[in-house]
Amino acid sequence: MSKGFLEIENLSQRFPQPDSSDLMTVFEGVDVTINKGEFVCLIGHSGCGKSTILNVLAGLATPTDGNVIMDNKEITGPSLDQGVIFQNHSLLPWLSARDNVMFAVRARWPNWSKAKRLEHAERYLHMVGLDHAMDRKPAQLSGGMRQRVGIARAFAIEPKLLLMDEPFGALDALTRGVIQEELLKIWSETHQTVFMITHDVDEAILLADRVLLMTNGPHAQVAESVKIDIPRPRTRATLHQEEAYYPIRNHLVDFLVEGAKVMSAKAQEAAARGDNPRHTPRIVNPAKSEAEPEPGPRMVRAV
């Protein structure tokens, strides 16, 4: 098997249940490879363990089984190699926007001079368009601006892997659109490897190179890896004019409405039979396979 930049190998998470001695399997057998510089989104219904996977990648959670290897090193705990943007911005409220970013820069490069740290922090705040608001505390910023500071902070430490857990989930639709485009702009400048969780199909199509689809839990699996075959640069305004847009969108929505449930049922049957749950996601390119008839309920491939 060729080694990618980030290798998620046979990852499983099981929790003890309050009313039974059996463990509850949230997800299992997840095998995913992510290449350097790739933007990958993970979509799935609530409760399928998306955030747990992200927390494992961040080093904030320990999986029951399996491991994650990044750049030939196993992830065993949180580090500056993994930048995280949480849904609830998690800025330190007693620091100004500038100091919040400085805080991260200082953690990353403790030996830098103050002037160099300042210059670096302000460069990233400038990228997210916060030149005028650097001295403000998080409470004096709007929700969108706070999330921008969070983005600047995460990009500023130049992590090997940037993790985002529904970063725009708490924002109104207009702000979300603006920040998505800003995120695209920064990403195209830095070519950061990004792993992002989202609920929003259009957001995933706009941002991602590849969308991972997760079936419902329990026994959730990453069932498909959908290639977003739309040329960059992409903009929200023109995205729906792309030929590939509707096939991709339909495929993703179909999966979320129907496929996730059907496959989840199959996965649970397989688990009841005791099959090896380890699987690699099926690679799908809806833009190219339009001529094919819509496949019926897909088989989950076991490796």
Binding site for other proteins (CB under 8 A): 58-60, 77-80, 82-84, 86, 88, 90, 92-94, 103-104, 107-108, 137, 139-140, 157
Nearer to other proteins, 76 or 188 (CB): 76
Cβ atoms of residues 233 and 184 within 8 Å: yes
Least distance CB 108 / other proteins (angstroms): 8
Distance CA 164, CA 58 (A): 10
Nearer to other proteins, 85 or 201 (CB): 85
Least distance CB 128 / other proteins (angstroms): 18
Q: State both tokens at 274.
A: 């005791």
Nearer to other proteins, 143 or 247 (CB): 143
Least distance CB 93 / other proteins (angstroms): 5
Nearer to other proteins, 92 or 302 (CB): 92
- Based on DSSP, count helices (H) and strands (E) in the chain, helices before strands: 9, 11
Q: Name the nearest CA neighbour of 123 among 98, 90, 103, 91.
A: 98
Distance CA 101, CA 156 (A): 7
Residues 6+ apart with CB under 8 A from 113: none
Distance CA 248, CA 211 (A): 10
Nearer to other proteins, 79 or 175 (CB): 79
Indicate the pairing of strand 222-227 with strand 282-284.
parallel
Q: State both tokens at 215.
A: 């079936």
Provide the CA 137 distance to its chain's centre, in angstroms: 27
Least distance CB 82 / other proteins (angstroms): 7
Q: State both tokens at 159.
A: 């992590």
Least distance CB 148 / other proteins (angstroms): 16
Cβ atoms of residues 210 and 17 within 8 Å: no
CB atoms within 10 A of CB 30: 28
Distance CA 164, CA 260 (A): 22
Nearer to other proteins, 49 or 83 (CB): 83
Least distance CB 173 / other proteins (angstroms): 25
CB atoms within 10 A of CB 21: 6
Least distance CB 95 / other proteins (angstroms): 8
Cβ atoms of residues 8 and 28 within 8 Å: no
Distance CA 139, CA 133 (A): 12
Nearer to other proteins, 134 or 263 (CB): 134
Least distance CB 63 / other proteins (angstroms): 17
Nearer to other proteins, 25 or 82 (CB): 82
